[in-house]
Amino acid sequence: MFLLDSHAVGITLMTLVFFGALQASVTIDEAPAEPGRWGFRPVQQETLAVNPPNFSWRPQQDAVSYILEVSGDDAFRDVVYTAKDISYNVHTPTRTFSPGSYFWRFQFTSRMGERSSWSQTRAFTIPESAVEMPLPDLAELIDRIPRTHPRLFLRPEDLVDLRVRRETDLQAHYQALVAECNELLEDPVPTEEPPLYDDDMVRGSDRWREVWWGNRRYTQKTMNGAATLAFTWLLDGNEAYAAEAKRILMACAEWDPKGSTGYRYNDEAGMPYNYYFCRTYTFLYDYLTEEERDVCRGLMKIRGDEMNDHLNPRHFWRPYGSHANRAWHFLGEIGITFLGEVKGAEEWVWFAMNVFANTYPVWNDDDGGWHEGTAYWNSYQSRFTWWADIMRAATEINAFDKPYYSQVGYYAMYLQPPGTRGGGFGDLTARRDSDDNVNLMRVFAAQAGNPHWQWYVDVHGKEDRPRGYVDYIRGALPGIKPKKPTDLPTARLFKGVGQAYLNTNLIDAKENVEIVFKSSPFGTQSHGYDSNNAFLLYAFGERLLIRTGRRDSYGSEHHKEWMWHTKSVNSITVNGESQGKRTADARGEITDFYTSERLDYVVGEAGNAYEGILDRFTRKILFLKPDVIVVYDVVQAPEASSFEWRLHAPTEMAIDGPSARVVNGDAACDVDFLWPRDLVTSVTDKFDTPPRPRIKLVEYHLMNTPPTPFTFQTFVTVIRPYKSAGSKTASIEKSEPVESGYGIKIRTELGQTTFLLQPDGGKFLNWEGVATSGSVRVVGDGVNFERE
């Protein structure tokens, strides 16, 4: 029995009270995520698409580690999972959970050893359908990665099969590699270090861009040449290839790691330097001396640390940086290559695997949609497929198990059916054709084993010209039998990115009419800066109603003042003002979507995107396929305002009273502005902020403005697409205001259809034998559709 005097007891009690108060004072920062931040995930009451969940929380000031608990009850009496000593503010468990409802919370330990209070409790549900994607712990991941080289794209044991197949089914791939290598021997790539920027260069100027982008191209050509030579030596043992690869590698190893190809100095040159250097090193490993390997290790320690310091752990909470969304997996390549050889490589691997598991991709939804447009989708996802190959070979984790990657190819299939000209919304998309997607879709089809995507590749008839070591390795994947998408609906909603693609024909753009619609929870940020509630019209292989402008230089006056502004798209400006420009705050949302064989319907709400000058902007689009489009807009402002209804075309518009006609090649459309009456219409082919003189671009911009400012206004517009060489197949028989709404009677080849529209449901409308208390009613032509 231990005896304590009263003085000792008093000190002990005071100590316990002191430390108890100190611990209680360490609280969790529960502030909601700001725009552009990843947020607390799973969110409250979320039903998940993956099992186990990918947990994320706000990084806590002074935290050195975290504890996560998951329970079957909100009092945490039934704790089913605990993870301690978590170093990041994200976590994916190593095992799956049984389907059901759960609760999660976290706490942290500070640098002083203090334990915080628990976070608030959040609930989530794992359905039976959730895809199983646990993340192995670091030790298991490291154990999976080969101890010897090569480690990128393939494992050492894969070489035997790849060498045999150069004489059989991969012979054409191999011969292409040999031809490329022989060219590199005959005309060696230069290895002088690229130049720095001159002191008097202005960032973004043409001179600056010449160095910035020129160094990228120079680095890619030089160092990819080395990787190609090294890989081909692995296949056939041609020592001339190995010797030239080593010459390039060791010469480039002398470049200043913080100089012109440094990641922070010019990441467009620094990123390809890093990943091509790693590939050459791992392919050429057995040909290098230990002294040469040490030179490479020392160099990549500097370069890897530079990337890691910039990305880790910042990227987990702020993952929307455009370039950072490439850089993280290039850091992963460095980590895998130099694992066990360079201090820090283990951390780089763990960081990259946690990014993939928890916060990638970011510009997407689980339906396969992409926010930034087809140009950046192609660019970024093409590079990601390298990581998918590397990760599968090194860690046995298949990226295409992720919900997004299991659906990724449907984005291109629905946005650009074969033969489509125009790449939808997003930067650099206006001149993209559907065959620009073929190379990436070929990779997706092979990696995911998807027959629809293989059909998309095959139907374009674009020759598969194998080039490079990556194509050689991918050539070993099993072939995919194509399947024509006749079993799919012709319209698809990508709700998470706020885009809907309404088609009449997924097989051939020459017979297709397509509406592209955007109202996005991503807002107008990054390269997906087009304003919300905007639409495009493509028909019979041509662009008819378009987004306008052409990026002459990123962030130029034309780019910022025209293309980022709502006036550049088919939407509505208010007193000439735009929605928030290039910001996550300017959010829209697709609030309703319906598709059937005869009628498609989509609704967007974008009032909050206007930074306080608009309370409501509801746009409803009804597509009576194939030849009638009704656009019904409801706008409301806190004070009387001018609402400018905008429309753009690639060719001159013929104006005839309250109507316009657009003809472009084989396609045409008539646009009837039914309401309000007495619109003031102007058309110009000028940009108020034109692109730089080297860009020769003529487009046509229509603006309709009601004659008097109001706080509330509706617009009713009917668009009738048709083949320019054919006859029109739809006509407006009658249209007029009906009490609180509007009625339209349209005749098509299939008969007569009546539309009744009003801002909101609840009021009874009765017109031409059709009645409704809903906001929308469509009757006729085999259609009977209503919305409350």
The full DSSP string for 740-782 is: TEEEEEEEETTEEEEEEE-SSTTS-EEETTEEESSSEEEEETT
Q: How confident is the model at residue 466 (pLDDT cuts 50, 70, 90)?
A: confident
Q: Average pLDDT, stretch 268-293?
A: 98
Cβ atoms 523, 583 nearer than 8 A: yes
Q: What is the pLDDT of residue 1?
A: 34
Task: State phi, psi for 534 to the nearest 5 degrees.
Answer: -95, 155
Residue 617 has a pLDDT of 98
- Arithmetic mean of pLDDT, 258-274: 97
Indicate if the pLDDT at residue 447 is higher than 70. yes
Please give the CATH number for the structural domain made up of 489-728: 2.70.98.70
Mean pLDDT of the chain: 95
> What's the CA dihedral at 779, 657, 537, 712 to 10 degrees?
-70
For residue 8, pLDDT beyond 60: no
* 217 Cβ neighbours under 8 A, 6+ residues apart: none
Fold of 1-134: Immunoglobulin-like (2.60.40)
Q: Measure Cα distances from 55 to 155, 379, 391, 637 in Å.
A: 31, 28, 21, 40
Are 410 and 368 in contact by the 8 Å Cβ rule? The answer is yes
Which residues partner with 757 through β-bridges? Answer: 742, 776
Give me the helix-helix angle, 206-236 and 267-284, nearest 10°: 10
pLDDT band of residue 404 (cuts 50, 70, 90) is: very high
Rounded Cα gap, residues 462 and 439, in angstroms? 9
Q: What is the torsional sign of CA 214, 220, 223, 229?
A: negative
In this predicted structure, the answer to whether residue 12 has a pLDDT above a threshold of 90 is no
Quote the pLDDT of residue 25: 65
Taking 70 as the threshold, does the pLDDT of residue 170 lie above it?
Answer: yes
Sheet holding 572-574, edge to edge: 572-574, 643-649, 700-705, 680-684
Return d(Cα 605, Cα 609) in angstroms, integer: 9
Query: Looking at the predicted structure, is the pLDDT value of residue 4 above 60?
Result: no
Closest to 521 (Cα-Cα) out of 369, 638, 715: 369
Q: In whole angstroms, how far apart are CA 655 and each of 271, 433, 568?
A: 51, 29, 20
Structure tokens at 155: 């494992």
User: Which has the closest alpha carbon to 410: 479, 379, 376, 364?
Assistant: 364
The helix (run of H) or strand (run of E) holding residue 119 is none
Phi-psi region of 781 (alpha: psi -120 to 50; beta: other; left: phi over 0): left
Q: With the CA atoms of 152, 154, 157 and 160 taken in that order, what torsion angle do they form, in degrees rounded to the nearest 10? A: -120
Residue 9 binned pLDDT confidence (cut-offs 50, 70, 90):
very low
Give pLDDT, residue 36.
87
pLDDT at 20: 44
CA distances from 534 to 131, 458, 624, 666, 704 (A): 34, 32, 19, 24, 15
- Check whether 2 has a pLDDT greater than 50: no
CB atoms within 10 A of CB 699: 20
Token reading at 495: 């709700």
User: Distance between CA atoms of 7 and 177, rounded to whole angstroms?
Assistant: 84
Region 608-628: mean pLDDT is 97
Distance separating alpha carbons of residues 714 and 633, to the nearest angstrom: 5
Q: In the chain, count H helices and then E strands.
A: 18, 33
pLDDT digits (tens, 9 = 90+) for 639-695: 999 999 999 999 999 999 999 999 999 999 999 999 999 999 999 999 999 999 999
CB 52 within 8 A of CB 97: yes
Determine the Cα–Cα distance for residues 679 and 573; give it in Å rounded to an integer: 15
- Taking the chain, what is the end-to-end CA distance rounded to the nearest angstrom? 77
In DSSP notation, 496-517 reads: GGTEEEEES-SS-GGG-EEEEE
Q: Is omega for the bond preceding 361 within 30 degrees of 0, making it cis? A: yes
Inform me whether the pLDDT recorded for 14 exceeds 50: no
| Cα distances (angstroms) measured from residue 434 to each of 459, 460, 547, 597, 650 | 11, 8, 17, 24, 18
Helix, strand or coil for residue 430?
Answer: coil
Burial class of 684 by CB neighbour count within 10 A (0 to 12, 13 to 18, 19+):
exposed
What's the token pair of residue 236? 């056939």
Q: How does residue 464 score in pLDDT terms, banded at 50, 70 and 90?
A: confident
Determine what percent of the chain is predicted with pLDDT higher than 70: 97
Cα–Cα distances (Å) from 592 to 56, 324, 519, 636, 777, in that order, read 29, 34, 11, 20, 14
Sheet holding 654-655: strands in order across? 589-595, 599-605, 616-624, 628-641, 710-723, 667-675, 659-664, 654-655
Helices 290-311 and 345-359: angle between axes, nearest 10 degrees: 40
Structure tokens at 409: 């190819």
What mean pLDDT is predicted for residues 397-421?
97
Q: What band does 11 get if pLDDT is binned at 50, 70 and 90?
A: very low
What pLDDT is attached to residue 781? 80
Quote the CA–CA distance of 357 and 137 in Å, as a whole number.
Answer: 12
Statement: residue 744 has pLDDT above 90: yes
Note the pLDDT of residue 204.
85
Backbone angles phi, psi at 511, to 5 degrees: -115, 15
Tens of pLDDT along 186-221?
A: 999 999 999 999 999 999 888 999 999 999 999 999
C-beta of residue 700 within 8 angstroms of C-beta of residue 683 = yes
Q: What is the spatial distance between Cα 245 and Cα 228, in angstroms, rounded to a whole number? A: 8
So what's the pLDDT on residue 3? Answer: 38
Opening angle at CA 432, ends 431 and 438, nearest 5: 160
Predicted pLDDT at 325: 92
Flag whether pLDDT at 18 surpasses 50. no
Residue 485 has pLDDT above 50, yes or no: yes
Which has the minimum average pLDDT: 12-16, 388-392, 613-617?
12-16
* Rounded Cα distance, 134 and 593, in Å: 33
Residue 166 is predicted with a pLDDT of 96
Contacts of 715 (CB under 8 A, 6+ apart): 572, 631, 632, 633, 635, 643, 645, 673, 675, 676, 704
Average pLDDT estimate for 323-343: 97
- CA 378, 383, 385, 390: dihedral to nearest 10 degrees? 180
Domain edges within the chain: 1-134, 146-313, 363-488, 489-728, 731-788
146-313 is classed in which CATH architecture? Answer: Alpha/alpha barrel (1.50)
